[in-house]
A = this chain, B = another copy of it.
Amino acid sequence: MEIEELGKIIKNRRKVLGITIRDLADITGFSKTTISQIERGVRNPTFEVLQNIFEYLNLEMKVEVKMRI
């Protein structure tokens, strides 16, 4: 998964839930600058930041062994 794809997933999910960047920033406690940049893939967030964002977007991260083709 690329960092841009991660951002798109977060943005799409936020839109689905009908909340703004400001909302998500307020709820998670991170700045809107941070949220905006993560969504656009121009930032390299830490695990904790992702963890918090995911929690409020009702998303979960999973790690799997990659399939051999």
Contact = CB atoms under 8 A, between A and B. Distances in A.
Interface of A: 1, 3, 6, 9, 13, 44-48, 50-51, 54, 58-66
Q: How many copies are assembled?
A: 2
Given A44-B48, A46-B45, A62 B59 contact: no
A47 B48 contact: no
Given A47-B50, A48-B3, A60 B63 contact: yes
Given A1-B51, A44-B46, A62 B65 contact: no
B54 A63 contact: yes
Given A1-B60, A59-B63, A59-B65, 12 more contacts: A1-B61, A1-B63, A3-B48, A9-B63, A44-B46, A45-B46, A47-B47, A58-B65, A59-B66, A60-B64, A61-B61, A62-B64
